[in-house]
Structure formats: structure tokens, C-alpha cells
Amino acid sequence: MVSPGALQNKSMAVYTTACPRNCYSTCAMRVEVVDGRLRRIQPHPDNRATSEGPCLKGLSYVERVVSPDRILHPLKRRPDGTFGRISWREALDLITERLEAYRHDPGSQSVLYYAASGTKGLLNAAGSSFWRAYGGSTTTYGDLCWPAGLEATRLTLGANLHNAPWDLENASLIVLWGKNSAETNIHQTTFVDRAIEKGAKLVVIDPRRTQTAERADLFIQPRPGTDGALALAVARLLIEGGRVDREFLGRHVLGFRRFREVALEISLGESAAICEIPVSDIERLAEALGTLAPATICAGFGMQRYTNSGQTMRAILALLVLTGNLGKPGAGWQFANLQSAVFDEVADPIAFYPPEKPDGVARVSISTARLGRDMLAADDPPLKMAWVERGNPVTQNPETHRVIEAFRALDFRVVVDQFLTDTAREADLVLPAKTMFEQTDVIGAYWHPYLQLKQKMLDPPGEVKTETEVYQLLAGRLGFEIDFPGTDDAEVDAWLERKLARFDITLDQLREGPVLAPGHQEIAFADLRFPTPSGKIELYSEDAAERWDADPLPRFAESEESPRRATSTASRYPLYFMTPNTKNRIHSQFNNLAMIRRLSDRPLAMIHPRDARERGVVDGDKVRIFNDRGSLELEASFDHGLRRGCVAVTNGWWMTDGGAVNVCSQGRETDMGHGAAFHDNLVDFEKA
């Protein structure tokens, strides 16, 4: 620890920054740098959504930037499979040689450009302009995270935005539907607690009894993939009980009468049997939604990763429509708040679709959900090379074994990363990536409405280069120009200033702290105007039918891989494999750090004791979780709060830890949005 007296002789600076990870919070932080070293990370009060400060992962940046495992130099695979250090000149020569050859034969689309969401940022995402200048490449469409919910919301409300996070404390009823905010959106829990202190009721719906569920007044554990049936049953009770806002429906909603017919198609008893819950659970949820206002439903990402999940999300959202809980303080639908996505194509989920019309640059696009399969099937032209940045697809994409097969079938693989992840270990060339403290960038969020500055405050260690500098060097060698800066700080600032100028925001403002996005709506849809084709909320959506070949009404159907379907998989594998997020990681990031591994040093298989006893397993035994696609062996940990018929292993473990859950998943898409339906995943387990 540095004493105050000692600090007088040291150089200290305090910076405003924000965490760019794929996380709801996108925390604002104040960071102390002493003599060029990260010393302390503290809260920044000007972000009202995250004023209590970063989580343990955020605090672990102090270790992350100086981790002995960090890649500081270009690495090339040796013939024996190990990696050896090479110079940047050698690395750039090798990449240039390959890119020139592939552009000539079989064409630029033989290069796959795979960029994920491991680090957010305006400048950080500028690499796509390099690949356009190169002549195009094969890209990916869809997303692993949230497209089904984005598209369901767009079809219904016309846009993905919601009330400011702090407005949640004005709710009289909060329904956390498939969301464990105590671990995955920890700052939201603050506003939930404040609402409860004011008298609000909390409902949690989740097959797992999570830390979040411990605060609930009502806790419901439906069978995975049946949330749509639960929502329609609640809708039936609201309609039959006269607990709908008929004035709101008459003025602002398209398709209520048709939706009413769908809600009445299945009896209450049938719905309870589908969900495998007591009828009383449905009745209590309907009672709460019909009598407590204002009400907010916060929907999680996990339940929209099934093949029926777009329709599920539409059915849940309909409950707020029926009760008029939109456009009011304390009310609304919280899934994605893209008000700060002012630079980003993701503000319109159509960005996830495969390209329909050429934009002057030849390109091919393959499904993120079916990455391994589509890579292997590519033949016009066949894939020869992959460039991966900001992602770890070997671990995080469905069908890990198929993704590995596809990567190993390539001639050349480049991965840009800070650590030797499972994907980096498959590379021929690994380039050292910057941390968030080594380049300036502007970032938005998908929960709160702030634009924030991620400031450069440390010089990159070793031979680390920013992605933009690498692209500039490659562009010069390949003979074309790209419209973004390299490594010069003044050029970076000027480029960002130009991007911000149209919103009358300056870098100096962002250096002081977070700035609300232009046009921010504290209460989403307060004017009750909805940018849908009809200008109304659409319970009946012709767009759903035309774009996705889906029922224009949110009917329930069993997910594709369900024990209730007459398939060979269902007959042989009776258990749902749940792969939730955890507070200790953001997907496959952070768990390689010592301070995080003290809390989670190994993957565990969470199993209900009764399911275990039926298979002769006791707590602590090694178990083999398996299906036709793959298997993994883990230590069993009994969880009395887990719904029977489920096995849960948190996602993000590396293959080197033995817990890569996607060895069992299948590459298939959700019913809309081109999301990854990897939660449609049946398994069994046995004593290993």
C-alpha cells in the first residue's frame, strides 16, 4: 500500500472511464493511476444507474492489466503445436502474404471476419471498414445473446427502449421473468430493493431458485421453454376477470380481439400441465398483474434462447399491453434499452439479418448460431482463413466440437486477444490485444441511457498494439486507405470528436463524466406513439408472418428439443441442460484471474438431489453429462432449489477447465431474429 506521504513524490492522475464488457451495467468508474500503474478503481456518482460502483470483475482489472498470463507479443504456432514469440514485422508480413493470396484466389470472401461483443466501443468496432476496403469478406449474421427478444420487442412496440433504470423504484409490481439480476444485473437490484422498501411486490419466474428469488413474494418454477404458455394462461385470466385496460387497448393496440382468441384456446389446467406448475401459481401471478400498478416486467436473456423464444417474448410482453402498463412511470417492459446506441446498427435488429442486397462490396454471411456447420459448408468460395477479435467462439458458440473442426479445416487462423483462450489456442498467429485502459473510445450501453468515454490512461505494455493500429499497418501494406485513426492519441481524439459533433457532445464533456444520450426518454413511449407499421402496439403482427414465417399472434409451441416431442433425442435424454451466467464471469472472461478463481476455481454440475439419487449419484461425485453431441465430466453439487429434470452448469468455462458447456449444444436458430437457440439442449447424466 502506498502511503499519502509517499504519493507526494509520485505522479498520480484520476481518470473517468467506463467498463466496455458485454454487461448490462457498463459501469462508470474513477480510476487512479500512480506512476503509470493502475492503483485503484472507484465508483463514479454521475452515472445514476451504477453509482454504487463496479462489481468484483470490475475491481479485478487491477490484476488483469498486469496478469503474468497476458499476451504481450505476437505469437506464432510452432510445428509441435506450441507458440513462440515473433516480431511484429514477421507477423504483419505473414498476414499480408496470406491476405493478398486469398484475395486473388479464391477471393476475398474466403476470409472469415468474426467479431463478437467481448469489448464494446465505437472505435473498437471500426474493423469492419478494413474488411470492406479489402474487398469484402465472409461475415456472420445473428447473435449469441438477444436477437429473439429484440425482434419480439420491435414487432410489438416498434423499438427497443425502456424507462430509465432508476425509474424501477416507482413500480408497485416487479416481475423478474427469467432474470437473476442479483448476479447478472447487480445494479438493477438496488432499484428493486428501493421499490420493495416502498411497498412493491416482487415476482421471480425461473426454473432455478437463485439469489434473486430469495427476495420474491411469489416464486414460480416453470418447465424450461414453457414461459409462453404461462404468459398466455395469465392473459386468459386477466381477460376473463375483466382486468384489462379496455380504453388503452381500444386506442393504442392492434389485434386485441384476435389475441383474445389465442389466450382462450388452452384451459388453465392444460397450461399448468404444460408448465408443470400448480394452477395457483398462474392465478397468483394474474392477480398481481391485474391489481397492482404500475407494473414492470424485466425479462432475461436466457429464456429467449429457445427455438420458440420469439413468440414467448411476445406473449410475455402482451401482459403489459393488456393492463396498460406502458408509457408510465414505474411501468413497462425492460429487455433492451438502446437509447445510447446512437452510432450502432444494433439499434435496429435488422442489423442481425443476413445481407439481402450487395452494397458494392462482395460479401457472404453465415449464421452465428450455426457457425461451425456453416463454415464447413461454405463453398462459394470455400473458407481459407479466419480473423477473430473480441470473441471466443470455440467455447461460446454452439457445437464446440463442430466449431473446432471448422477452424482446423482452415489454412490460416489469426486471433486477437489478451489471453490464450480456447480459440487463441487454435490459431496459427495470436496478436496481443489492448485492455480498456490503453485506448480511448466512446461506448454506449443496453440498459442505461448514457454515452461514456473509455479513456486511454496507460501505455500498452510490451508490444501490444490497438486493433486500429494493426489495421492501419495492414492497409498500408495492402495498398488501400481506411477512415479511422491508428495509434496517435490526437488523431483518435479528433476522429471521436467528429463522430460526437452531430450530437453536440464533446470529448471534454465525456472526460468529466457520463452524458445522457441525445433524445433520451426517461419514460419510454410516454407519448404513446409506437414506430410499428400501424403506429400502434401490435399484438397481431403481419411483419412476424412475412419476415419470419411465424404466426402473427404469439401462440405457444413446444421448443424443438423438448422431452414432450416424439423425437429420438427426447426419448433418450430427459433432462434440460441449463447454462446460465454467473456473477463471477462475463461469459468466458475473467475466470483466468487469480482473484476470481478464489471464488470459482472449478466448474460444478448443479443437480437436484432426487434426480441424483435415481442415478446413484451423491453430492461431490464425478458425473458425466452427455448427449449425442458430446459430454463433459464435472463434480456434482446438489441444489435443492433447482427444478427437478434440470442440470445447470454456468457457461464460460474454458475447455482447459473441463467445463465447456457447448460441447453438448446444437447449432440452431431461434424462431425469429437469428438468435442462437442453444438452450434447446437435452442431456442425461451418470456417475463417472
Q: Report the SS3 class of residue 515.
A: strand
Q: Cβ(366)–Cβ(189) under 8 Å?
A: no
pLDDT at 354 over 60: no
Decide the pairing of beta strands 646-648 and 682-687: unpaired
Euclidean distance between CA atoms 324 and 245, whole angstroms: 6
Do the beta carbons of residue 11 and residue 457 sit within 8 Å? no
Q: Which residue has better confidence, 177 or 355?
A: 177
Instruction: Match 486473388 to its residue by C-alpha cell.
Output: 104
Three-class SS state of 291: helix
Chain segment 556-583, per-residue pLDDT in tens = 999 999 999 877 677 899 999 999 999 8
At the top level of CATH, the class of 75-142+353-446+450-516 is: alpha beta
Lowest model confidence (mean pLDDT) among 62-66, 279-283, 407-411, 668-672: 62-66
What's the rounded Cα separation, in Å, for the pair 295 and 234?
15
224: cis peptide before it, omega within 30°?
A: no
pLDDT reported for residue 468:
87
Name the segment(s) of the chain with CATH classification 2.20.25: 4-64
Rg (CA), the chain: 25
- Pairing state between β 364-367 and 138-141: parallel
Parts of the chain belonging to CATH 3.40.50.740: 75-142+353-446+450-516
What's the CA gap between 61 and 73, in Å, rounded? 20
Q: What are phi and psi of 674, to 5 degrees?
A: 60, 40
C-beta separation of 258 from 141 below 8 A: no
User: What local confidence, expressed as pLDDT, does residue 9 receive?
Assistant: 53
pLDDT category, 361, cuts 50, 70, 90?
Answer: very low
Amino acid identity of residue 623, one-letter, is V
Give helix 268-275 / helix 279-291 axis angle, nearest 10°: 110
**pLDDT band for position 7 (50/70/90)?**
very low
Mean pLDDT of 130-142: 92
Identify which has the larger pLDDT, 364 or 434: 434
* 6 has a pLDDT exceeding 80: no
Grid coordinates of 497:
470528436
Alpha-carbon distances of 364 from 3, 210, 375, 669, rounded to whole Å: 58, 42, 11, 18
Task: Band the pLDDT of 344: cuts 50, 70, 90.
Answer: low
Q: Which CATH class is domain 568-687?
A: mainly beta
Task: Quickly tell me which residue has 392473459 as its cell.
Answer: 235
Q: Which fold has domain 149-339+525-548?
A: Dimethylsulfoxide Reductase; domain 2 (3.40.228)
Q: Which residues, in sequence order, are bridge partners of residue 416?
A: 389, 431
Whole-number pLDDT of residue 239: 98
Rounded Cα–Cα distance for residues 38 and 63 (Å): 9
Q: Look at residue 133 in the predicted model and tell me its pLDDT.
A: 92
Contacts of 638 (CB under 8 A, 6+ apart): 607, 608, 609, 612, 619
**Are the CB atoms for 310 and 150 separated by under 8 Å?**
no
Per-residue pLDDT tens over the stretch 592-612: 888 888 888 899 999 999 999
Average pLDDT over residues 310-325: 98
Angle at 399 between CA 397 and CA 403, to 5 degrees: 70
- Read off the pLDDT of residues 29-44 as tens digits, 9 standing for 90 and up: 999 999 989 999 999 9
Would you state the CATH architecture of domain 4-64?
Single Sheet (2.20)
Q: Given this model, what pLDDT does residue 2 score? A: 37
Confidence check: pLDDT of 658 > 50:
yes
Ordered alpha helix ranges (H), 294-418: 309-322, 371-377, 393-396, 400-408
- Determine phi and psi for 544, rounding to 5 degrees: -60, -40
Q: What is the mean pLDDT of residues 273-300?
A: 98
pLDDT value at 165 more than 90:
yes
Mean predicted confidence (pLDDT) in 152-174 = 97
- The C-alpha cell at 686 is 451418470
Question: 345: pLDDT confidence band, cut at 50, 70 and 90?
Answer: low
Q: Cβ atoms within 10 A of the Cβ of 60, count?
A: 19
Please indicate whether residue 232 or residue 4 has the higher confidence score (pLDDT).
232
Highest mean pLDDT of the ranges 49-63, 226-240, 557-571 = 226-240
The whole-chain average pLDDT of the chain stands at 92
Give the span between the Cα atoms of 636 and 621, in whole angstroms.
5
- Average pLDDT (227-232) is 98
Report DSSP state, residue 609.
Answer: H
**How far is 196 from 183, CA to CA, in rounded Å?**
18
Digit-coded pLDDT (tens) for 428-468: 999 999 999 999 999 999 999 999 999 999 999 999 998 88
Q: Where in the chain is the domain with CATH 3.40.228.10?
A: 149-339+525-548
Contact 450, 24 (CB under 8 A): no
> pLDDT at residue 5 above 50?
no
Residue-wise pLDDT for 407-431, tens only, equals 999 999 999 999 999 999 999 999 9
